[in-house]
Structure 1
Amino acid sequence: MHTALTSRAIAAPPRGAKAHRRRRMRGAGTTARASSSGRTGDDDAPDRSSSSSRSRNDGGFTRRAALAGYALSPAALSFLAAAPPSAHAKLDIIYDGELQTAYTFPVQLQVIALRGSVASQWEGEFNKTMLGKGKASVTTAISPGEMFDELLRTAPPPSFPGGYISPADYIAGKRPPPGVPPPPPPPSNKDKKKSKGAPKYLKADVVSVGDEFLAAAVTRGLVLPLDPSVVQNEWYARLPYAWRELATRDPRTGYPSAPAPPAPPGRYPNTTAVVYTNGDPDQTAKPAMYGVPYRWGCTLIAYRKDKLPASLRERPPRDWDDLWRPEFKRRVGMGSGPRQMLTAALRAEGMSANADGWGGGGNVRARLESLRREQLLIQDDVQYLQALGNGDAWIAVGNSDDVLSMARKSSLIGVVVPMSGTTLFADVWCVPASAARKPGGVSPLTNQWFDYTTQPARVNLRVGLRGGVSPIVFDGGGIDYASIGMNGPTGGFVDYDAAGDKNGTRGMGAKIKDFLSRDEKNRGGEIMQGGMPPDEVWARSEFLYPLSPRIKDQYNELMREWAAEASTRKPSGWSTLKIF
């Protein structure tokens, strides 16, 4: 391995370097005198030995040293005194025959993650791997919606020549026609203060974006495309095809696109190029990878065990169509947003949640009408779980993060993944557009963060769905337990054919129930005990993509009818109507 250094930019010596050198000289003299009095050899022997030892190691830079500047060659130290001080000083080195950048100062990485999506020890463990030459600072956002709103506030204002057009039109190669008014001025400091998180987001190098907001973030220019060279990174090859496809988007529409294949196995340079900075419209209009998925979860059905009527105890809820059971009239809760109701109705009819339309049979529309008028108790992102907790709602639909958090607080709440398949969500690391305008640009540690958070060591399937699942063990059709040394889920696979309370233990204490039900544990697959559904359930599951214009028009027409009705008479239990 041959390593060479160039002197394009060399950092000035740190403060106190001269005093340090004087102390070293005095120490060397003391050692030499001790050496001449007690051992053979001349006074310069220790210095020559040390120098020769360092010379032999000049070519021994590790890959991490080459990428993040963990060491400097003695050949470069002679230039330190003459170089001007610079906060962004760096070295060019030839490593494995390739030009790389080595930084001579502790590199900073500012990360904003969704709350609960990152293990608390990740920040400290990552910083330990940097050996003091790099530091990540991880802060959190409350929800994907808050993250998206902050990205909207901190995104760079459009400043295209000739006037304003949308980022999606610009990257498609379009230009504003003559006479279009100039772009709006940048927000003032007073406007920036309206958002408490604005300074934090302006400094961010990496943010966590929910996949449901990824299409909007891409088309609005809120996140930057990753450089095509990322296919040479090991973390890129580590991600299954389904995840690379999820993060590869067409910038004009936001829809997923076919990803580029990874580099041939055996050699991954892990280049420091992170974002694509070429402004050529022909290049930026092409599909590109806009993020790195690092965690996923799914939609769950939760129900109150103690509220189930006797007719349902032998067969508790297990699929989407259970929401329309007459026993749950005015007892259904779900999060806000029109997509929640539409997804439930489509899946209950055996259709994809991304269907192009609901057909002419009217079954989906009838389910939507019934859900709204007869079944729904509340539709609110926070209150639907509160209603389930206090017993007002008997059944609810929500994401696994929220539902499992509530279920941990009460043994009266049962949880199940819909048997016919569910909808999946993912958290994706993205580079915000504002990062390119930072004085130092995007942090060179971004690739290292992508790599660290997608390593097999970050996988924790022993708790099942709690905390989310790493994408590297899920290819879209099933979970690869063997890749991390497991024979299956810790709590077993969910048995959807098992009776709900065949042993009659529902009202007994926990220890007695566990004893009487011990033979059922191996096949019970309780989600809260690390159980997971079988792979055929995951194979029938899907991510939510932007709705097609056809089904959006159909649904909006129904929503306008409901809005007109609500203007004269607001049904009890029905909250705010929202149109796409």
Structure 2
Amino acid sequence: MNRRSFILTSTALTLGSLISGCQANHDLKILLLQGSIPVQLIRAFNQELNSEKNINFNPQANLAEIYRLLEKWQGKTTPATEESRFQFPSLPFIQSEIEKADLVTLGNYWLSLAIQENLIQPLNQNELNNWANIPPVFQNLVMRNNQGDIDGNGQIWGAPYRWGYTMIAYREDKIAPLGFTPKDWSDLWRVELMNQISLLSQPREIIGLILKKLGYSYNTNNIQEIEDVYRELTTLNNQVKFYDSTNYLQPLINGDTWLAVGWSTDILPVLEQHRNIRAVIPESGTSLWADIWVQPYENNLSEEKLGEIYRWINYCWQEDSATRINFFTKGNSPILSAENANNRLQMSEEIFAKSEFIEPLPETIMAQYNELWQGLNN
């Protein structure tokens, strides 16, 4: 499973049962990424409302599908090239009709695109009671100008409520006899691991970790000028048994591969279930992602409904809520430091400072990334 593809978990099924009886009578409609908010938090919020109002929490399996819905609600169609732009597989099904929501989850990668297409509207800082408790790196992530560019003087276009990172998982029983412990991206190139690695089928992630190994940014836009990138990618490709963004951990569990690169929300639960699997956050830094509450563009929301939107956002930023998000979703709330979270493996402040959120690149630059990636099969 992974956070960006179709997933069905026991938590999500419980969430579906929880909300099914609430859809007939509700004021606020929230479309959220499945598994990103625990059922326990929703129950606690509904109890705190202490009224006849019901909130419709509608989980969606895929961030790309949420973005498509934002476009649909604004009467826009998604170009045929959109799937390649996002680098995500097609969904096995698409729900026929989903009523426009008042608040939705969006990944940080889509934020600038949504602003450019006028799919969302900025939030009112005066209504964000805990904004001052949000670390500057997350404030900067959502403060943008009208072109979607990060701007410290821009408006607040979203409320980050969960974040995570890319990491390395490995079989301790297979790696220990080799005489080393993986610590950084450079370990993926060790000859002892030839044909024993599974990688995400994501050009930005894999070319990005190569750039990080070479001392560059994940968001480098002049990769054609870096001669070592293709050589490093070709060498790394010789180490890889297969690429997959969904089922990359099962071979590691079975012992068919010895090391895998993947997302923290996938890997952390596996560490609790399999004692022979260990994980490490690369010392040179890694890619970050964030789940963000955004408000779809709407001209006529009532003051009452706006109040409910901000009440929910502020509720997610309370310490008790943050603790539930950390514990039950294996993500990290931005209001709790990673080192104080409830997960088994935490990111140090030093590594966090070296890490980056992956941002959209111009189409001409993405074409260079895709050309490099496709060259592996030639």
Task: Tell me if the contact between 1:249 and 1:288 (Cα under 8 Å) persists in the aligned partners.
Answer: yes
Q: For residue 289 of structure 1, report the CA deviation from its aligned partner.
A: 2.2
Matched AA of 2:169: A
The answer for the alignment partner of 1:156 in structure 2 is: 74
Alpha-carbon distance in 2 for matches of 1:437, 1:231: 19
Matched AA of 2:259: I
Query: Partner of 1:121: helix, strand, or coil?
Result: helix
The answer for the alignment partner of 1:320 in structure 2 is: 185
Q: Pick from 323, 343, 346 the counterpart of residue 532 of structure 1.
A: 346
Matched AA of 2:118: G
Task: Tell me if the contact between 2:198 and 2:259 (Cα under 8 Å) persists in the aligned partners.
Answer: yes
Alpha-carbon distance in 2 for matches of 1:329, 1:551: 30
Task: Tell me if the contact between 1:123 and 1:137 (Cα under 8 Å) persists in the aligned partners.
Answer: no
Matched AA of 1:541: S
Matched AA of 1:215: S
Alpha-carbon distance in 1 for matches of 2:106, 2:186: 31
Alpha-carbon distance in 1 for matches of 2:247, 2:30: 30
Query: Partner of 2:121: helix, strand, or coil?
Result: coil
Alpha-carbon distance in 2 for matches of 1:541, 1:215: 20
1:143 matches 2:8: no
Map 1:514-553 to 2 at 5 A: 530-547=344-361, 551-552=365-366
What are structure 2's unaligned runs of at least 5 residues?
1-24, 78-91
Task: Tell me if the contact between 2:73 and 2:100 (Cα under 8 Å) persists in the aligned partners.
Answer: no
Matched AA of 2:97: P
Alpha-carbon distance in 1 for matches of 2:59, 2:65: 10
Alpha-carbon distance in 2 for matches of 1:469, 1:344: 22
Q: If the length of structure 2 is used for normalisation, what is the TM-score?
A: 0.79
Task: Tell me if the contact between 2:67 and 2:106 (Cα under 8 Å) persists in the aligned partners.
Answer: yes
RMSD: 3.2
Larger Cα Rg: Structure 1 or Structure 2?
1
Matched length: 340
Q: For residue 231 of structure 1, report the CA deviation from its aligned partner.
A: 3.7
1:456 matches 2:319: yes
Q: Pick from 122, 129, 133 the counterpart of residue 226 of structure 1.
A: 122
Alpha-carbon distance in 1 for matches of 2:35, 2:151: 29
The answer for the alignment partner of 1:295 in structure 2 is: 162
Alpha-carbon distance in 1 for matches of 2:310, 2:127: 11
CA displacement, residues 427-486 of structure 1 (integer Å, 9 cap, x when unaligned): 0011234x6588999654101111100112223299779621111234xxxx5x7xxxxx
Segments of 4+ moved more than 3 angstroms? 149-152, 194-200, 358-361, 435-444, 461-466, 548-554, 559-563
The answer for the alignment partner of 1:189 in structure 2 is: none
The answer for the alignment partner of 1:409 in structure 2 is: 273
Map 1:299-310 to 2 at 5 A: 299-308=166-175, 310=177
Query: Partner of 1:199: helix, strand, or coil?
Result: coil
1:418 matches 2:282: yes
Task: Tell me if the contact between 2:185 and 2:282 (Cα under 8 Å) persists in the aligned partners.
Answer: yes
Q: For residue 367 of structure 1, report the CA deviation from its aligned partner.
A: 0.9
The answer for the alignment partner of 2:136 in structure 1 is: 241
CA distance 1:465–1:365, shift in 2 (3 Å): farther
Q: If the length of structure 1 is used for normalisation, what is the TM-score?
A: 0.53
1:351 matches 2:247: no
Query: Partner of 2:27: helix, strand, or coil?
Result: strand
Map 1:7-18 to 2 at 5 A: none
What are structure 1's unaligned runs of at least 5 residues?
1-105, 160-193, 260-286, 482-487, 491-527, 566-580
Query: Partner of 2:67: helix, strand, or coil?
Result: helix
Q: For residue 150 of structure 1, report the CA deviation from its aligned partner.
A: 3.6
1:339 matches 2:204: yes
CA displacement, residues 13-45 of structure 1 (integer Å, 9 cap, x when unaligned): xxxxxxxxxxxxxxxxxxxxxxxxxxxxxxxxx
Matched AA of 1:155: W
Map 1:78-89 to 2 at 5 A: none
Query: Partner of 1:294: helix, strand, or coil?
Result: strand
Query: Partner of 2:192: helix, strand, or coil?
Result: helix
CA distance 1:361–1:211, shift in 2 (3 Å): closer
Task: Tell me if the contact between 1:255 and 1:546 (Cα under 8 Å) persists in the aligned partners.
Answer: no
CA distance 1:233–1:324, shift in 2 (3 Å): same
Q: Pick from 432, 435, 439 the counterpart of residue 296 of structure 2.
A: 432
Alpha-carbon distance in 1 for matches of 2:210, 2:59: 34
Q: Which has the higher contact order (CA 8 A, sep 6+)?
A: 2
The answer for the alignment partner of 1:256 in structure 2 is: 150
Identity %: 29
Task: Tell me if the contact between 1:334 and 1:340 (Cα under 8 Å) persists in the aligned partners.
Answer: no
CA displacement, residues 57-112 of structure 1 (integer Å, 9 cap, x when unaligned): xxxxxxxxxxxxxxxxxxxxxxxxxxxxxxxxxxxxxxxxxxxxxxxxx9621212
Alpha-carbon distance in 1 for matches of 2:328, 2:222: 31
Query: Partner of 1:123: helix, strand, or coil?
Result: helix
Task: Tell me if the contact between 1:203 and 1:438 (Cα under 8 Å) persists in the aligned partners.
Answer: no
Task: Tell me if the contact between 1:400 and 1:466 (Cα under 8 Å) persists in the aligned partners.
Answer: no
